[in-house]
Structure 1
Amino acid sequence: MRILIVEDEQRIAKPIAEDLKHQHYIVDIAHDGIEGWQYTQSTQYDLILLDMMLPQLDGISLCKRLRTARYNALILMLSARGTTADKVVGLDAGADDYLVKPFELEELAARVRALSRRTPETRPSILVHGDLQLDPGSCNVTYRGKRLSLTPKEYMLLECFLRNQNQVLTRSSLIDKLWNYDKLAGKETVKTHITNLRKKLKAAGSQNLIETVYGIGYRLGNS
């Protein structure tokens, strides 16, 4: 899942981003409402963590603008204002949930998980392809019962392939899905991660689970 944090206070945004990255989410940070709007015009996010009080363009106005533009990302409003009236304003502006500051990262993570279950995609609890299994809940990956030790990026690549089993994924599409907005990777970087992932799958017994479609990209094979 790709998440945009729109928060002007770095001391709040940075630990949230780091915690979400450790949970294998792709995270970008915008520091004001205008920058947040610009990010959404170039990238489709699954979830936006939106501070209510922002410079340039406040969170309520940005939320309304996104909904008017039919931007369908889930929105979790963050605010130090915790009255019922404030929550009503945020939810009526188009937010899907409202969290009052200060909050624990564990509660935020739980809200993110709960919101992710509202997405229209049908996501099985365990993703399976032949002898390969990936459990998004625990982030465990096994091949023929043997657990694989993957880096976060290798895990996200494999999850992306498993969620798109009948598609050929180009290097460009993988970059769009899995790399941060401000840290875009080159195609050679994708190739390197694919190579490393293949080595680990091969060590577990797979011969050609990730196939190269020459001139296009990659897809899941049958081994």
Structure 2
Amino acid sequence: MKILVIEDERKLARFIKQGLEQHGHVADLTYSGSEGLDHIAGGLYDLVLLDLMLPGQTGFEVLQNLRAFGLTVPVMILSALSDPERVVQGLDLGAVDYLRKPFDFNELLARIRVLQRRATMGNDVVLRVADLEMRLVSHEVHKNNVHLELTNREFALLELLMRRAGQLVTKNEIAEKVWAMDFDMGSNVIEVHIYQLRKKIDATGIPGLIETLIGRGYRLKTT
């Protein structure tokens, strides 16, 4: 899963990010409600872990604004505010779960697995471009009915390209939507991931689905 952590306690935020990535998730961090809301609006997230006592906007305000903007990403609240009234308020505003701090990290992982199972029981969301098929809930990609093994970053990168199929996707957009806010634009990480993704996609059919537009970015061809 690609998860956004909105937590102003930076040490705790980094701990959560490290733990999630050790268990196969992709995690981004923001440290205020306003930044978090901007990140959700511009990113492709499967889950948001949301603190309540945040600068900029409180977690409750983030939830209200998410729903007002029609954004349906699942939100799990992580908060030291444990009185029943706050829990009820968070759930009524649209959160799918509420975990009280301090929490055991294994419990957090277990609750995330529950959310994954719930999503899998529903209808999967499928993206199709040319002979590529991506199932967002079950996290599967096929090309010409051949299953492709992708890393979490490769999956997120391909999802972005497929959602924008036929359109230019700039390196800045990829850094913002697939990687964390503090991404080093001087690195060649994106190029390396594009190269690896091309090898996997082109290995099972006609090469060249991902175009490089020199000096501008990348485009996924629709045919």
Whether TM exceeds 0.5 here: the answer is: yes
After superposition, where does 1:102-121 map in structure 2 within 5 Å? 102=103, 103-111=107-115
For the 8 Å contact 2:7–2:13, the answer to whether it is kept is: no
Between the aligned partners of 1:213 and 1:158, the Cα distance in structure 2 is 16
Inter-CA distance 113–14: structure 2 relative to 1 (3 Å threshold) = farther
After superposition, where does 1:31-180 map in structure 2 within 5 Å? 35-37=31-33, 39-40=35-36, 43-45=39-41, 48-52=48-52, 54=53, 57=55, 61-64=58-61, 67=64, 75-79=75-79, 82-91=82-91, 94=93, 96-101=95-100, 102=103, 103-111=107-115, 125-180=125-180
Between the aligned partners of 2:70 and 2:18, the Cα distance in structure 1 is 21
For the 8 Å contact 2:76–2:97, the answer to whether it is kept is: yes
Which position in structure 1 is the counterpart of 2:182?
182
TM norm structure 2: 0.69
Inter-CA distance 83–108: structure 2 relative to 1 (3 Å threshold) = farther
Amino acid in structure 1 at the alignment position of 2:35 = Y
Are residue 196 (structure 1) and residue 196 (structure 2) matched?
yes
Between the aligned partners of 1:77 and 1:85, the Cα distance in structure 2 is 14
Between the aligned partners of 1:180 and 1:124, the Cα distance in structure 2 is 26
Higher mean alpha-carbon deviation, 76-85 vs 63-72, is at 63-72
Amino acid in structure 2 at the alignment position of 1:164 = R
| Aligned positions, number | 209
For the 8 Å contact 1:7–1:29, the answer to whether it is kept is: no
Inter-CA distance 49–141: structure 2 relative to 1 (3 Å threshold) = same
% identity of equivalent residues:
26
Between the aligned partners of 1:171 and 1:4, the Cα distance in structure 2 is 23
Tell me the C-alpha RMSD between the 2 structures.
3.9
SS of structure 1 residue aligned to 2:133: strand
For the 8 Å contact 2:79–2:99, the answer to whether it is kept is: yes
Gaps of 5+ in 2: none
Shift of 1:112: 7.1
Gaps of 5+ in 1: 116-122
Between the aligned partners of 1:19 and 1:193, the Cα distance in structure 2 is 20
Higher mean alpha-carbon deviation, 173-182 vs 103-112, is at 103-112
SS of structure 2 residue aligned to 1:165: coil
